[in-house]
Amino acid sequence: MRPKNLIKEEAIRTVALQMIAEEGLENLSMQKLAKVAGISPRTIYIKYENKEDLLIKLFIEEVLGAYEKAILQNFAPDMPFAKGVKLIWLNGFNYLTNNRHAFALMQYGKSSPLLNKAYQQKNIKEGDYFGPVMQFLQINVEKGVIKDFPHEIHRALLFSPAIDLVAEYFDYQTRPVQIITPEVILACCDVVIKGMLNN
């Protein structure tokens, strides 16, 4: 049988992620979270200093690792460039569209100091996550397949357009026709691949 405090902690995380997915980050408060989880606010503050601390820990422990695992499914650093990029995009699209809470936290992290704070708190360094993707990019630079940009630029080109398309996907869920399909993702991916090629 699991300790009572572990069960409470799991309840806090589960309910927080559910609230983020259903109501958005702006509607998440520690008091509301405590009420929905059926525990006292004091219990939450034993584990988390404040809302930002909760979000940082959720991001690192519930989102970052799962997103990396999804991205790297069937991926190898030495695979052909176009094939690798398409796999990264489709894996990311499938994960994020099925995990709206993860996407919400990622978006929040982009527009706040959350990610940098999370990395500092856990002493996460460049390459601790998505190492195989960085290797993949470096291999293709060395082979002359892609332009030799700094890795921050390669990362932005590889991930930012795909994440923006996921945002459009969620926007279109409330409209009559969904325009962001896997086929559209692959067509857009082809544009990014052509832009990165060294020719």
Q: What are the structural domain ranges in the chain?
A: 1-48, 51-196
Rounded (5°) CA angle 70-74-77: 100
pLDDT at 169 over 50: yes
User: Each residue of 11-61: pLDDT tens digit?
Assistant: 888 888 888 878 877 788 888 888 888 888 888 888 888 888 888 888 877
End-to-end CA distance of the chain: 61
Structure tokens at 33: 């979270």
**pLDDT score, position 37:** 85
Exposure pattern of 97-120 as b/e (b: 16+ CB <10 Å)?
A: bebbbbbbbbbbbeeeebbebbbe
Measured CA to CA, the distance from residue 62 to residue 156 in angstroms comes to: 23
Q: How many CA atoms lie within 13 A of 97 on its CB side?
A: 21
Q: According to CATH, what is the number of the domain 51-196?
A: 1.10.357.10
User: Each residue of 56-108: pLDDT tens digit?
Assistant: 888 877 788 889 999 999 999 999 999 999 999 999 999 999 998 888 888 87
Q: According to CATH, what is the number of the domain 1-48?
A: 1.10.10.60
Mean pLDDT of the chain: 86
Q: 123 vs 164, which has greater pLDDT?
A: 164
Measured CA to CA, the distance from residue 14 to residue 149 in angstroms comes to: 40
**pLDDT score, position 2:** 47
**pLDDT score, position 1:** 37
